[in-house]
């Protein structure tokens, strides 16, 4: 776009040089350039800037072995959709079932010992109060009761740990997801300390899309949205082919900090993905759908020249004269440009025929 503007400027400059160069012959007076003119007005235009986003899973987790043992097998197909709680892999539970049985037996034994200790204490205590039992007998009964009570607590904890270890033999998914390939195969020996990663599961419905936005655009969006809180704002999503995705996303995160290296801040969109058309790592286009830029000054792109000292337009100062006016463009909106400085509402500028204007700026406005 800038190359086109530069070429247009160069053509205009060549025309000016031809006019400016004298000769020994009598100079012929150049005819005024026939141009079209447009009057500057403030307008409201959709904020239809397209940003490039990258998808990521709504959440994901690595499933790892939490106990030692041999894998009995894989219970899903690589890349399959799996439901929350589904078992994907199983570690041989046999030794852990034995451990549960042993812990259960020890707990029962401890409970029996506690019952005997309690009965002995209940018998000794009233005798001691009547001085029919010695202090040593009483102290022994109390100590035995406390010890047996602690052994019941320890045995209960051991049984709970044994049951936990047994439950860890079933590797299940914590949410509806798509499962990655398996990393350890049937018969492999796995351990929490080595070769523990078994697979990874990704929740992709809904799915998230991250994109970067300049501080100028962020200011424009929040100003015209009427609030700095733009969470929930709708965003249209486009595939790389330009085709629109059938679901509309919503802003669910705006970074509170600006990246000092890029001068941008991260925004994130969440969007439904029931059919899995969107996958993590995919590039998508993002366009805000309900935000307008209000009261902006727009000029046709063809009215702008780009030269060594920046951008300029030909401003009409009388029905027959136009002068160069430096301007500061903000952004391109289709075939028009938002101008920040240099012209104001009510000004008239040359729209077409710029390349014909001479150094004298003489024009004839076509009607």
Q: In whole angstroms, give the CA distance from residue 292 to residue 308.
A: 33
Q: In whole angstroms, give the CA distance from residue 123 to residue 137.
A: 11
Q: Where are the domains of the chain?
A: 2-45+294-365, 51-58+204-292, 63-200
Confidence of residue 28 (pLDDT cuts 50, 70, 90): low
Smallest Cα–Cα separation from 199: which of 180, 186, 185?
A: 180
Count CB-CB contacts under 10 A for residue 57: 20
> How many percent of the chain have pLDDT more than 90?
72
Confidence of residue 26 (pLDDT cuts 50, 70, 90): very low
Smallest Cα–Cα separation from 336: which of 365, 311, 291, 303?
A: 303
Q: In whole angstroms, give the CA distance from residue 130 to residue 90.
A: 62
- What is the separation of C-alpha 87 from the centre of its chain, rounded to a whole number of angstroms? 30
Smallest Cα–Cα separation from 149: which of 141, 137, 161, 138?
A: 141
Under CATH, which architecture does the 2-45+294-365 domain have? Beta Barrel (2.40)
Q: In whole angstroms, give the CA distance from residue 92 to residue 30.
A: 97
Provide the pairing of β-strand 363-365 with 33-39. Answer: parallel
Residue with tokens 């801040």: 265
Asked if CATH classification 1.10.150.130 holds for the domain at 51-58+204-292, the reply, yes or no, is: no
Q: In whole angstroms, give the CA distance from residue 179 to residue 181.
A: 7
**For 149-179, what is each residue's pLDDT tens digit?**
999 999 999 999 999 999 999 999 999 999 9
Is the pTM higher than 0.85? The answer reads no
Q: What CATH number was assigned to the domain covering residues 63-200? A: 1.10.287.470
For residue 143, what pLDDT is reported? 97
Which two structure tokens, joined as six digits, stand for 146?
């406390």
The rounded mean pLDDT for the chain is: 89
């Amino acid at each position: 776009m800038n190359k086109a503007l530069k070429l247009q400027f160069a053509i205009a400059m060549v025309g000016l040089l031809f006019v400016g160069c004298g000769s020994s012959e009598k100079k012929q007076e150049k005819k005024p350039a026939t141009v079209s003119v447009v009057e500057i007005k403030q307008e409201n235009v959709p904020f239809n800037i397209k940003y490039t986003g990258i998808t990521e899973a709504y959440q994901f987790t690595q499933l790892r072995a939490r106990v030692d043992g041999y894998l009995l097998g894989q219970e899903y197909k690589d890349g399959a959709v799996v439901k929350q709680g589904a078992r994907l892999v199983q570690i041989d539970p046999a030794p852990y079932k034995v451990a549960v049985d042993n812990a259960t037996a020890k707990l029962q034994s401890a409970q029996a010992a506690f019952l005997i200790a309690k009965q002995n204490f209940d018998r000794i205590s009233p005798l001691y109060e009547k001085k029919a039992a010695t202090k040593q007998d009483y102290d022994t009964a109390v100590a035995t009761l406390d010890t047996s009570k602690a052994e019941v607590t320890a045995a209960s904890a051991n049984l709970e740990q044994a049951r936990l270890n047994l439950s860890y033999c079933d590797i299940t998914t914590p949410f509806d997801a798509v499962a990655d390939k398996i990393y350890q195969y049937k018969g492999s020996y796995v351990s929490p300390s080595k070769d523990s990663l078994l697979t990874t599961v990704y929740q992709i419905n809904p799915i998230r899309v991250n994109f970067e936005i300049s501080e100028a655009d962020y200011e424009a969006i929040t100003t015209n949205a009427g609030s700095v809180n733009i969470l929930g704002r709708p965003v249209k999503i486009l595939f790389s082919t330009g085709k629109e995705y059938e679901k509309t996303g919503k802003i669910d995160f705006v970074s509170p900090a600006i990246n000092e290296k890029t001068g941008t801040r991260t925004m994130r969109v969440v969007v439904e993905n029931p059919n899995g058309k969107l996958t993590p790592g995919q590039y998508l286009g993002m366009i805000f759908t309900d935000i307008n830029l209000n009261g902006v000054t727009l000029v046709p792109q063809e009215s702008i020249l780009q030269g060594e000292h920046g951008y300029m337009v030909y401003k009409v100062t009388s029905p027959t004269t136009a002068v160069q006016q430096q301007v500061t463009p903000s952004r391109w909106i289709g075939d028009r440009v938002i101008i920040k400085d240099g012209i104001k509402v009510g000004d008239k500028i040359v729209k077409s025929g710029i390349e014909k204007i001479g150094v004298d700026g003489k024009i004839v406005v076509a009607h």
